[in-house]
Structure 1
Amino acid sequence: MKSLLHLSDTHFGTEVPAVVAALERMVLREAPEVVLLSGDITQRATRAQFRTARAFLDRLRLPWSVIPGNHDIPLLDLVTRMLRPYARYRQELGEASTHGLLDLPGLRLIRVKSTRRRRHIDGELSRRQIAEVSRALREAPSGVLRLVVTHQPVWVDRERDRHNRCHGADLALSRWRDAGADLLLAGHIHWPFVRRIAGDRPVWAVNAGTATSSRVRDGVPQSCNLLRWDPSRPRAGAELQRWDYLAGDDGFHPIETTRLQFD
């Protein structure tokens, strides 16, 4: 089995040291093929916070992949926000870290930048982005799992969170479903869930809660998701585990497993 660890909303600058340490222990034990961090890596996009985040990722000693969230663009430094919104992000995390493809045995991951310098919180997907992702989905090798990750979600499971969906979400969901998407990963709302979206073919929405921040919501502790799949038959052998930080044990533990069906 292969595995991918999905983290989100670490919000370095508000991290809880004990939770960070527990997450590092969990990663060491589980040894996923890659760690995916779906945005809001920092709280206020400062150089110090990005450096702390980079140090955390380097300590994992595993391949990692990231996309920016709305908190990863300077909020109060308006000049930098307008002229060089991702300068600090790219300086610490790499020039090609805002979007792109990642292929693993039995899996294709498509990273999409849903943040915009002109939007404070909301995400947006342009028609060009939607078309490019659709093409990447259709060009994926036959039989692999096809994942798309954004920061702001394309689909949510609670009516109260609908306003947090990306602008352009309905078109993206329709086009990406037609193009063969299997899982839509996101964060942003600090609410973890995995749900099969109703429609003519199975598509799963997977949201991660905050991984390390004190900014927990709705009584849900820090959490992350671990996707496991069989590379020899990925569409028949995939499951999603949610892991929560349990303060009494000072560790992350699996609390829910969902068997993912794609046919």
Structure 2
Amino acid sequence: MTARIAHLSDIHFGANDPRVVAATEAWLLKHQPDLVIISGDLTQRARVAQFREAAAYVNRIRAMGFPLLCVPGNHDVPLWNVARRFLSPLGRYRRFIDNDLCPWFESASVAVLGINTARSLTFKDGRINDDQMRMIEDRFAHVAPDKTRILVTHHPLFSMPIGKGGELSEAVGRHDDAVMAMAGAGVHVALAGHFHQTYAQAARKMVEHAGPALVMQAGTATSTRFRNDERQSFNWLHVHRNNDVELQVIAWTGESFQRGNHIRYGFDGREWRGVPVGHDSPSAKAASR
């Protein structure tokens, strides 16, 4: 069985393009994902009006009948309201989006865990704590071996290439411990956002002892805040059995969302290998659904 997953991130209500927002909804309605993931930064500055807009958006997605898994991002923590930032950093997120900061989704083919990496003590960087690392190991411990294990965070657990010069980002706080927990839990795919750039790579090529994990980063789906001239985009995943994952970037052209780069990743027992998928291949035709 194949699971079709739409992975959106950094929708930034308060700094978003309404036309692009409507286009994401139309695309989801047409292509009928089995799960929609939003990996953080639902708002620009965690204001009530912005959360109301974000809540209306996620409720429209839910009303379409799609399961939805969200995690907060650093922009969902108030920046200028110091009292709220430290006393109730994600109070508005809990009120408007989801009271569960570490949501879980499981189907016949995938098991997906979201982990909150947003913290009040940092303005943009993320962190993961001991309880969350134990949760990663505990939740995936009871998952059937033939299911694909997916971990969702806002901040990438790994250093990611950013910018045109190939420089690397800062990894999430307690990075080494997080990687060990993920490897111990047998996570196959790690999804994140934060940098407004699309990127997919085998974790083994970036971090030693990362385990058999494929790291996929989503661009910004609806924000007007671009990085390196990269326009709005989101990821369309087809997760097959036996560690076989297709990733296609769905990119905004200025008029509509169109299919972009499409790669099929397979795990050979030691590392992931990606093969570009042509438009006329069976995989490409299947992904069009």
The reply to whether TM is greater than 0.5 is yes
Looking at structure 2, the residues matched to 56 and 136 of structure 1 have their Cα atoms a distance apart, in angstroms, of 29
Number of residue pairs matched? 256
Identify the residue that residue 186 of structure 1 maps to in structure 2: 192
- Residue 35 (structure 1) aligns with: 36
How has the CA–CA distance of structure 1 residues 147 and 236 changed in structure 2, closer, same or farther, with 3 Å as cutoff?
A: closer
Deviates more, 1:104-113 or 1:121-130: 121-130
Q: Is 2:256 the partner of 1:251?
A: yes
Q: Once the two structures are aligned, what percentage of the paired residues are identical?
A: 32
Name the structure 1 match of 2:275: none
| Cα separation, 1, equivalents of 2:213 and 2:263 | 14
Which amino acid letter does the alignment assign opposite residue 23 of structure 1? T
How many angstroms does 1:237 deviate by?
4.2
Give the structure 2 partner of residue 218 of structure 1. 228
Question: What is the aligned partner in structure 1 of residue 213 from structure 2?
Answer: 203
AA of the residue aligned to 2:82: L
Query: Partner of 2:33: helix, strand, or coil?
Result: coil
In 1, the alpha carbon distance for the partners of 2:22 and 2:103 equals 29
- Supply the distance in 2 between the matched residues of 1:79 and 1:205 (Cα, whole angstroms): 35
Q: Which residue of 2 aligns with 1:67?
A: 71
Within 5 Å, which residues of 2 pair with 1:39-188? 39-60=40-61, 61=64, 62-96=66-100, 98-158=101-161, 160-163=167-170, 165-188=171-194
Residue identity opposite 1:255 in structure 2: G
Q: Following the alignment from structure 1 to structure 2, what is the Cα–Cα distance between the partners of residues 102 and 166? A: 23
Deviation per CA, 1:212-260: give whole Å up to 9, x if none: 0000111211010111124xxx22543111111111xx11112112212
Unmatched segments (≥5 aa) in structure 2: 270-289
Write the distance in 2 (CA, Å) between the matches of 1:156 and 1:225.
20
Does the CA contact (< 8 Å) of 1:6 and 1:35 recur in 2? Answer: yes
SS in 1 for 2:169: helix
Counterpart-to-counterpart distance in 2, 1:157 and 1:32: 27
Shift of 1:2: 2.4
- Give distance in 2, aligned partners of 1:84 and 1:175: 28
- For the 8 Å contact 1:41–1:53, the answer to whether it is kept is yes
Indicate the SS of the match to 2:167: helix
The aligned residue for residue 9 of structure 1 is 10
Which residue is 1:239 aligned to?
246
Structure 1: which amino acid aligns with 2:28? V
**Alpha-carbon distance, 1:87 to partner:** 1.3
2:247 maps to amino acid: L
Q: Which amino acid aligns with 2:197?
A: W
Measured in 2, the distance between the counterparts of 1:58 and 1:175 equals 33
Greater RCO, CA 8 A, separation 6+: 1
* Structure 1 alignment gaps of length 5 or more: none
Q: For residues 122-160 of structure 1, what are the alpha-carbon distances to aligned partners after superposition, in whole Å with 9 as ceiling and x for unaligned?
A: 101112321220222222122100011111101234263
Inter-partner Cα distance in structure 2 for 1:185 and 1:4:
11
Pairwise CA distance, 1:91:
1.0
Query: Counterpart in 1 of 2:265?
Result: 260
User: What is the TM-score with the length of structure 1 in the denominator?
Assistant: 0.92
**Separation in 2 of the partners of 1:225 and 1:63?**
16
Q: Is the 8 A contact 1:40 1:69 kept in 2?
A: yes
Secondary structure of the 1:261 match is strand
For the residues of structure 2 that align with 1:76 and 1:135, how far apart are their CA atoms?
36
TM-score (normalizing by structure 2)? 0.84
Secondary structure of 2:138's partner? Answer: helix
**2:279 maps to what in 1?**
none
In 2, distance between residues paired with 1:170 and 1:254? 35
- Check whether the contact 1:26–1:251 (CA below 8 A) recurs between aligned residues: no
| Contact 1:161-1:189 at 8 Å conserved across structures | no
